[in-house]
Amino acid sequence: MNAISKIRANYDQLFIDGRFVASSLGTEPVLNPATGENFGVAPLGGKEEALAALAAARRAFDEGPWPQTDRNDRADAMQRLLDKVRERKEEALTLMMLEMGYTALQAGFLFGLGETQCVKAIEIARKDPTKTLPFLVTPRPDGTNALGGALVTRDPIGVVLAITPYNAGFLLTLLKALPAMAAGNSVIVKPSPFTPLQTMLVADMVAELDLPPGVFNVVTGGADVGAILGSDPRVDMVSFTGSDKIGSQIMIQAAPTLKKCHLELGGKSPLIIRHDADMERAVMSGIFGFVHQAGQGCSLTTRMLVDNRIRGDFVAALSDAVSKLKIGDPFAQDTFMGPLIRETARERTAGFCARALEEGATLVLGGKRPEGLDKGFFFEPTIFDNVTNESYLGQNEVFGPIAAVVGFDTDEEAVRLANQSDYGLGGAIISRDAGTALKMAMKVRTGQISINGGPGGFHPDTPFGGYKKSGLGREWGEEGFNEYTEIKAISFPAGN
């Protein structure tokens, strides 16, 4: 039985106002980046579908029961959605591998992260958000004293537009829509045109629930559809994951109506390897930092800052380890890395290589299409040494499998180089001196940073987001959940 026979790969309807509806624009093929061939069909949304979803989501929030539904009942509904996600895990994994070209290991990693964060969001949704503030005694003109109090609570923000990227379509559909709905909002999801089927799978699951019509909607399409949705005054919040360039365009579209923008954008995250690092751990971190997801991850540590005393040993060990990894068919059990998403991404990665050579970097490994992989959008894992931090490769996000190795001589220099970036999303430090590593981590301007690989698994309470051009706001944990709410303060007299 082949992979496609295990899933639903053909959809001709969008999900709007609680039901599947035909698109006025018909369908378009879905491409497998590992083969360059079409394997499925997805509905193509346009202006008509965007306007219908906007009307449905607005009506569901303003007139429907969902915002006033007891928080435990909303959490119960989201738990039923999570149960369906677990039941259809194999379908989700298969679609990740077909649409995104991820290996089974990488798809499983994303699914596990999504499951962990959904469990946490449901847990947070059950908590009473009300907080009582200290009581005040205020003198009156007649010599008596007034007693008063106040409380703070949280309301759903309204209609949330969730725009998801191709590199984590299933994951981020869930991690945006589930907490937003659990908080009482209605949601419109616009997936990447490259990976619509993963979001349609979530719509399949939602259709089996008893949610009020309009609480969850899916509209596919390109940038034109995103602009229609993002600029419409009926949307109260845009939650977007993607590039900083598109993020700035979304802010411009949102500005006239002053809607909230929640943006998780690009990165050029540093991996700091001190002179006392465990070499095996450093190499494993290095591999994950640029080979995972074929480098198509916003927080991957592709900028590797290595103490010059061990830089040669690290580069040799990393090159040796990476050269043994199998690149190819995502469904083969021993494949470690699959393709890039499209030919344009492969060409962009090749362009980075050419420019790095022009700027004097040393090509250690890779730099071209792998031998024997003539179909699909494959690119070899590539390592450049002698990269200067201020170079084009040192400063710009590739979104492809290129490691840029930059040398340093002191811890102070390493921190300075780490912060010499327009981005501030992720980061990592490898050192046997955990205390010094912590002091350095406190000085790095980034949204999250791990020491020696972190806690060993997904920490469900950790907020995710970045500084500078890496975005606005946070996802995951309590901070991420609260992004989908408004704060309300209520004051009152507490006595005569």
Is 298 in the active site? yes
Query: How far is it, in rounded angstroms, from Cα 117 to Cα 461?
Result: 8
Q: Is 261 one of the annotated active-site residues of the chain?
A: no
Q: Within 13 Å, how many C-alpha atoms sit on residue 199's CB side?
A: 36
- Residue of 118, 298, 353, 475 marked active site: 298
Tokens 């051009």: give the residue: 469
Is residue 173 within 8 A of residue 475, CB to CB? The reply is: no
156 CA to centre of own chain:
22
| Angstrom distance (rounded) from CA 231 to CA 156 | 20
**Closest by CA position to 291, among listed 312, 321, 264:** 321
State whether the Cα torsion 249-254-258-259 is positive or negative: negative
Q: Which of 49, 91, 99, 264 is catalytic?
A: 264
Contact 452, 430 (CB under 8 A): yes
Which H, E and C letters describe the chain, residue by residue? CCCHHHCCCECCEEEECCEEEECCCCEEEEEECCCCEEEEEEECCCHHHHHHHHHHHHHHHHCCCHHHCCHHHHHHHHHHHHHHHHHCHHHHHHHHHHHHCCCHHHHHHHHHHHHHHHHHHHHHHCCCCCEEEEEEEEECCCCCEEEEEEEEEEEECCEEEEECCHHHHHHHHHHHHHHHHHCCCEEEEECCCCCHHHHHHHHHHHHCCCCCCCCEEECCCCHHHHHHHHHCCCCCEEEEECCHHHHHHHHHHHHHHCCEEEEECCCCCEEEECCCCCHHHHHHHHHHHHHHHHHCCCCCCCEEEEECCCHHHHHHHHHHHHHCCCECCCCCCCCCECCCCCHHHHHHHHHHHHHHHHCCCEEEECCCCCCCCCCCCCCCCEEEECCCCCCHHHHCCCCCCEEEEEEECCHHHHHHHHHCCCEECCCEEECCCHHHHHHHHHHCCCCCCEECCCCCCCCCCCCECCEECCEECCECHHHHHHCCEEEEEEEEECCC
**In 10 A of CB 174, how many CB atoms?**
29
Residues with a known catalytic role: 264, 298
